[in-house]
């Protein structure tokens, strides 16, 4: 009997998750019912939002139940289909979960063209992270040429496209990243005007000074992925009528930062006195813009004008460790797990 492998949530973490939070299981390969498609996972995407799903508290989506397969998006090959429009051999992107195989409703799948770009880009620069960067910069922050933007997690899956798009739109781009290697990449490869290391000595105060020096006209837009020290450093640099496009808070996902010196009243006062607009957004609300996004960015990816970087872990069993490293900022570029053979050969 054919089997599949999956990784389930073994226990809800208290504070930072660890290896004990996950468990590998084997199970019989399921068969697709009407309207469903059986998938073989090729690439699994690991993303910070998954940390939220591990908690019992309702976030924007229901939590993963203890004992259930960890949720996640992947690129997969169709093995069997009970739905019109999908046939064996098709390559799709969809909610595979952390699993070698999955049965998924057809309406949750999007077919991708294996010839257009490497398959894995459908999870990164041409997928949800890329769309997040594009929507956030243009539609949430309303970026305009001549403005200054600070992009946190500048070399991450979202940040690395946000920086490159901002530069193409004519903004001054200041990245924030963890460590000298990432900062060098942000400037030399992504084209940031400056990139600051949030791990440098001196804490938020020193980081804020450095941002001030790199942004002599102040900061009009903060592309906010992280919260924590970086938020604390950027906020005093925000210009009147600045915008904060808030799509993540990885520094706080594991309950860190409870002792942050910046208090809510101080933040509220800055929003008021600088007349800031803070806009939370999630890519799930903006899937209707995917064609428009791909029309602009896919050609730039193919031509090499937009670059991307991946951090690949081999085999589904590597997913928990890779995810824990991701939460610590240990990845460099879009974090992927190669779960199965890639027929496009990337």
Sign of CA dihedral 97, 38, 123, 317: positive
**Of the residues 199, 277, 289, 325, which one makes contact with its own copies according to CB under 8 A:** 277
Around 224, how many Cα atoms within 13 Å sit in the side-chain half-sphere? 30
Q: Give kind and range of the element (H or E) at residue 52.
A: helix 49-53
Determine, following the binding rule CB under 8 A, whether residue 192 of this chain makes contact with its own copies: no
Rounded-to-integer distance, Cα 1 and Cα 138, Å = 50
Q: Is 278 in the site for its own copies (CB under 8 A)?
A: yes
At residue 163, φ and ψ (nearest 5 deg) are: -65, -45
Interaction with its own copies in 158-177: which residues (CB under 8 A)? none
The site for its own copies, by CB under 8 A, has a size of: 33
Least distance to its own copies from the beta carbon of 112, Å?
27
- Output 44 or 249, the one with its CB closest to its own copies: 249
- Nearest-approach distance from CB 108 to its own copies, in angstroms: 20
**Least gap, CB of 246 to its own copies (angstroms):** 5
When the beta carbons of 85 and 280 are compared against its own copies, the nearer one is 280
Task: For the CB of residue 323, give the shortest distance to its own copies in the complex, in Å.
Answer: 20
Q: How far apart are the first and last CA of the chain?
A: 30
**What tokens does 62 get?**
């229901």
Residue spans of alpha helices (H) in 64-138: 128-135
How far is 240 from 74, CA to CA, in rounded Å?
41
Q: How far is the CB of 231 from its own copies (least distance, A)?
A: 8
- Residue indicated by tokens 């992009």: 151
281 forms part of the interface with its own copies (CB under 8 A):
yes
Could you say which of 5, 189, 279, 346 contacts its own copies (CB under 8 A)?
279
Distance CA 191, CA 185 (A): 8
Smallest gap from residue 182 Cβ to its own copies (A)? 23
Smallest separation (angstroms) from its own copies to the CB of 20: 24
Q: How far apart are CA 183 and CA 116, in angstroms?
A: 30
User: Which long-range contacts (C-beta less than 8 Å, at least 24 apart) are formed by 283-286?
Assistant: 283/128, 283/131, 283/132, 283/135, 283/247, 284/60, 286/131, 286/135, 286/139
Span 236-275, contacts to its own copies by CB under 8 A: 246-249, 252, 257-258, 260, 262-265, 267-269, 271-275
Candidate list 17, 124, 175, 227; residue touching its own copies; CB under 8 A: 227
Q: Least Å distance between CB 275 and its own copies? A: 5
Nearest distance from C-beta of residue 207 to its own copies, angstroms = 17
Applying CB under 8 A, does 285 fall inside the site for its own copies? Answer: yes
Burial (CB count within 10 angstroms: exposed 0-12, middle 13-18, buried 19+), residue 23: middle
Considering beta carbons, is residue 281 or 332 the nearer one to its own copies? 281
> In 250-333, which ranges are E strands?
277-280, 310-314
**Rounded to an integer, what distance in angstroms lies between the CA atom of residue 121 and that of residue 51?**
22
Q: What is the DSSP letter of 69?
A: B
Q: What Rg, from alpha-carbon coordinates, does the chain have?
A: 20
- Confirm or reject binding of residue 287 to its own copies (CB under 8 A): no
Sites for its own copies among residues 114-153 (CB under 8 A): none
Per-residue x/- track, 8-47, its own copies (CB under 8 A): ----------------------------------------
Which of 273/303 has CB closer to its own copies? 273
Please give the residue ranges that form the binding site for its own copies (CB under 8 A): 52, 59-60, 227, 231, 246-249, 252, 257-258, 260, 262-265, 267-269, 271-282, 285
């Amino acid at each position: 009997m054919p089997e599949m492998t999956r990784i389930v949530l073994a226990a809800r973490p208290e504070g930072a998750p660890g290896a004990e939070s996950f468990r590998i299981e084997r199970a019989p390969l399921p068969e697709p019912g009407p309207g469903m498609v059986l998938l073989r996972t090729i690439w699994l995407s690991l993303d910070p939002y998954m940390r939220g799903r591990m908690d019992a508290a309702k976030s924007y989506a229901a939590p993963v139940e203890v004992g259930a397969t960890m949720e996640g998006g992947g690129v997969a090959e169709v093995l069997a289909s009970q739905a019109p429009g999908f046939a064996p051999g098709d390559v799709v992107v969809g909610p595979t979960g952390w699993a070698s195989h999955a049965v998924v409703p057809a309406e949750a799948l999007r077919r991708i063209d294996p010839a257009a770009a490497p398959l894995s880009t459908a999870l990164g620069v041409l997928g949800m992270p890329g769309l997040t960067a594009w929507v956030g910069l243009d539609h949430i922050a309303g970026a305009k040429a001549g403005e200054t933007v600070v992009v946190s997690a500048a070399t991450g899956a979202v940040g690395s496209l946000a920086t490159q798009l901002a530069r193409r739109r004519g903004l001054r781009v200041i990245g924030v990243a963890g460590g000298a290697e990432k900062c060098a990449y942000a400037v030399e490869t992504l084209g940031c005007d400056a990139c600051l290391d949030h791990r440098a000595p001196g804490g938020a105060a020193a980081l804020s000074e450095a941002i001030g020096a790199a942004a002599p006209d102040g900061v009009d837009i903060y592309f906010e992925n992280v919260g924590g020290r970086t938020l604390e450093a950027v906020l005093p640099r925000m210009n009147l009528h600045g915008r904060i496009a808030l799509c993540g808070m990885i520094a706080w996902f594991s309950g860190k930062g409870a002792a942050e010196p910046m208090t809510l009243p101080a933040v509220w006062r800055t929003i008021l006195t600088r007349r800031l607009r803070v806009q939370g957004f999630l890519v799930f609300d903006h899937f209707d813009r995917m064609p428009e996004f791909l029309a602009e960015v896919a050609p730039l990816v193919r031509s090499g004008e937009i670059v991307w970087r991946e951090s690949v872990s081999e085999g589904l069993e590597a997913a928990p460790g890779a995810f824990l490293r991701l939460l610590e900022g240990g990845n460099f570029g879009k974090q992927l797990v190669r779960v199965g053979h890639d027929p496009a050969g990337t």
